Chain A
Amino acid sequence: MSAALQTLNMTRILPGPVPVTLIEHANLSIGKGEFVAITGPSGSGKSSLLYLLGLLDRPTEGSVMLEEKETSHLGSGELARLRLAKLGFVFQFHFLLPEFSVLENVMIPMRKLGRLSGDAMKTKAMRLLKSLGMEGEARKRPEQLSGGQRQRAAIARALANDPLVLLADEPTGNLDSKNAHNVFEIFRGLAEDQGQTVVVVTHDPHLSEHTHRQIHIVDGRIVDA
């Protein structure tokens, strides 16, 4: 099984009068099709690890490899291009653009990538929304949706460009337990039925135990992968 994401001796230190070590010497390999949870107590560096894996942040030392290609020497424009084409993000907060409809929000990454025609983008976005039970909400604005629906719209947007890896940072953190369960089931369905590589940060043990693999992190160090 080839690796989708790999880190080599990756360290991230926040500079400042008192430097803070977020991640220390992390060695990690996430294979294609894996469903991985990053767990740990709050403040342990779960999100920091996810941002590094998602090429949103750069390691101070060591490297991150996407599909076994080194990324540390790439410029910010090239990293943005990689995120657009290969990665999809879901955050605790939905981060949908409030002025655009759900459908338009889902189409933003496609339009930025520009590989499909306008009609094909619309068809694909509608298909994604339908698969998440959101086809009835496509024309609505984010503020007209419930919390669970917003998060599903955000997931549809993350999947817009068929990402190699779907990265989620506490995607159920703002949801009640029923909605949280539904959203987690979506991730599991994506991983198990469609072979989507999923990395999800969560502090909820009920959720993480349903993943294939847990990466436990304490004080910036991976203690159990």
Chain B
Amino acid sequence: MRLIAEIAATHLTHRKRQSIVSILGVAMGVGFFIGMAALMQGFQTYFVSKIIDVWPHIIMKDEYRLPSLQPAQRQFPQGAVALHGLKPVEELRGIRDGKAVIAALNRIEGIHAAPTMRTQAFMRYGAKDVSATLVGIDPELERQVSQLERDLKVGSLNELHTAANGVILGEGLAAKLGVEAHNIITVVSPAGVILKMQVVGIFRTGITTIDNFDSYTLLKKAQILANRPNVINQIRIRLRDVGNARVVASSIESRYGYRTEAWEETYENVLGIFVIQNGIMYSSVGAILIVAAFGIFNIISTIIHEKTRDIAILKSIGVAELDIRLIFLLEGLAVGMIGTVLGWALGHALVEILASIRFNIEGFVRAEGFILNESPYHYLIAAGFALISSSLAAFLPARKAARLDPVDILRGAA
């Protein structure tokens, strides 16, 4: 066995430059995988943990997933008559008997529910005119379902009670309006109600869409603005165990009939982008490793071509086919392993460099640099990729070498 390894080593050291290039190819693949995986997963886990942290885990809306059936259709489900031009009855929007629903939900262990009235509004301050989402909340219950209080940069939730018409703005929204705490803004609702409101707080969650568009006020004020007294149109729910969000959401929906979304569904588009991101990462790193595998295939084929006489003599001496195959497999594996170790170092260096870069980004989330997640799994996955592809790349030429007929070579050489 040592003999086999020695022969393999002499082959690689004999073609130093080619071996180094092949090793570097593998190292690049491994290194970039580690760097990219840290970058992607860092961002993704950060985003998800942010969402779970600041956003209610489940939201019940005053909508139905399917349009309601027409009375005639309900009466005669198998009917053959089609009616066109029917107008659905205009229903009063809102969750019916919302207070009872919230009370019932809050009795369940591990579930906190809070009522909200969500409406669109125009906010005016000076010459600025900005459209925003105004969410009416019950501060006491809201504390149970979101981290709004913690995310407040200025002010507190209690000031909603103490100020006359208090409103809390997202940081981006406040910046767009150019307001600071205690400024008075004019809020105009689609229902035509106009209120002068005092900014009592500014929050920053770090999630751009929320910070740029959302604002909070008391439930009652929102109902006044929307001109829908005593109506709530969303129930926010927070779970003790966020892993159950989908299951709990669908059981709540089947019980009450209203569309109930777990956070995964609300942020489905973003999570879908993550899947695409991961696909791009794996395929581009895969491509690097495939190129590296071609390099390995190339060097081993060259060595075999150069060493056909040596192979013939080894076989005539009595070195078995299996050993010959092992020699070249070992060469491929050696390139893969050395490349992997170098790639680990490269990947770690890459992560360190990325982590040291400071800048402001404002994408889905706001951050002051790359958010990185360096995980031992990435190192293992990269090593697995590299070793599998390098041994596959070595396997084909090695098999060919093992099958060489020494008689053919001896005849040709003699």
Q: Using a CB–CB distance below 8 Å, which chain A residues touch chain B?
A: 47, 51, 54, 56-57, 76-77, 80-85, 87, 89, 91-93, 95-100, 108-109, 111-113, 157, 169-170, 173
Contacts and interface: CB of A to CB of B under 8 A. Distances in A.
B318 A77 contact: no
Contact of A76 (B2, B11, B313, B321): B321
Given A57-B407, A100-B10, A112-B3, A47 B414 contact: yes
B14 A80 contact: no
A112 B14 contact: no
Contacts of A81: 318, 320
Contact of B317 (A76, A98, A100, A109): A109
A138 to B, nearest CB: 17
Q: Count chain B CB atoms within 10 A of each CB in A77, A80, A113, A157 and give the residue with the most.
A: A80
Given A99-B10, A99-B14, A112-B3, A51 B317 contact: no
A84 B322 contact: no
Interface in B2-21: 2-3, 7, 10-11, 13-14
Given A56-B406, A99-B10, A108 B411 contact: no
B33 to A, nearest CB: 34
Contact of A56 (B11, B316, B321): B316
28 contacts: A47-B410, A47-B411, A56-B316, A56-B406, A56-B407, A76-B320, A80-B315, A80-B321, A85-B318, A89-B313, A91-B410, A91-B413, A93-B309, A93-B413, A95-B309, A95-B312, A97-B10, A97-B313, A99-B10, A99-B11, A99-B14, A108-B317, A109-B317, A111-B2, A112-B317, A112-B318, A113-B318, A157-B317
A157 B317 CA distance: 9
Given A56-B406, A57-B407, A111-B3, A89 B414 contact: no
Given A91-B414, A93-B414, A112-B3, A77 B316 contact: no
A203 to B, nearest CB: 12
Interface string B98-121: 000000000000000000000000
**Max count, chain B CB within 10 A of own CB: residue among A47, A87, A97:** A97
B268 interface: no
Please list the 9 inter-chain residue pairs (A to B) with the smallest Cβ-Cβ separation, ordered nearest first.
Answer: A84-B318, A99-B10, A95-B313, A83-B318, A80-B320, A111-B3, A77-B320, A89-B316, A57-B407
A57 to B, nearest CB: 5
Nearest to A170: B414
B141 interface: no
Contacts of A84: 317-319
A89 B413 CA distance: 15
A108 B316 contact: no
B352 interface: no
Nearest to B309: A95
Interface in B364-400: none
Question: Which of B14, B318, B321 gathers the greatest number of chain A CB atoms within 10 Å?
Answer: B318
B310 interface: yes
Interface string B166-194: 00000000000000000000000000000
Interface in B60-109: none
Nearest to B315: A80
Contacts of B315: 56, 80
A51 B410 CA distance: 10
B384 to A, nearest CB: 31
A177 to B, nearest CB: 19
Contacts of B313: 89, 91, 95-97
Interface string B1-45: 011000100110110000000000000000000000000000000
Contacts of B7: 97
A205 to B, nearest CB: 19
Nearest to A58: B407
Given A56-B407, A93-B414, 4 more contacts: A47-B410, A56-B406, A89-B316, A108-B317
Contacts of B309: 93, 95
B317 A83 contact: yes
B54 to A, nearest CB: 65
A93 B13 CA distance: 25
A77 B322 contact: yes
Nearest to B11: A99
Interface string B285-321: 0000000000000000000000001101111111111
A99 B11 CA distance: 8
B414 A92 contact: yes
Contacts of A112: 3, 317-319, 323
Contacts of A82: 318
A125 to B, nearest CB: 14
A75 to B, nearest CB: 10
A80 B410 contact: no
A199 to B, nearest CB: 14
Residue among B319, B411, B414 with the highest chain A CB neighbour number at 10 A: B414
The winner among B316, B320, B321 for most chain A CB atoms within 10 A is B316
B312 A51 contact: no
A92 B318 CA distance: 18
Contacts of A93: 309, 413-414
B89 to A, nearest CB: 85
Contacts of A111: 2-3
A183 B192 CA distance: 114
Contacts of B406: 56
Interface in B400-414: 406-407, 410-411, 413-414
B2 A89 contact: no
B410 A169 contact: yes
A81 B10 CA distance: 24
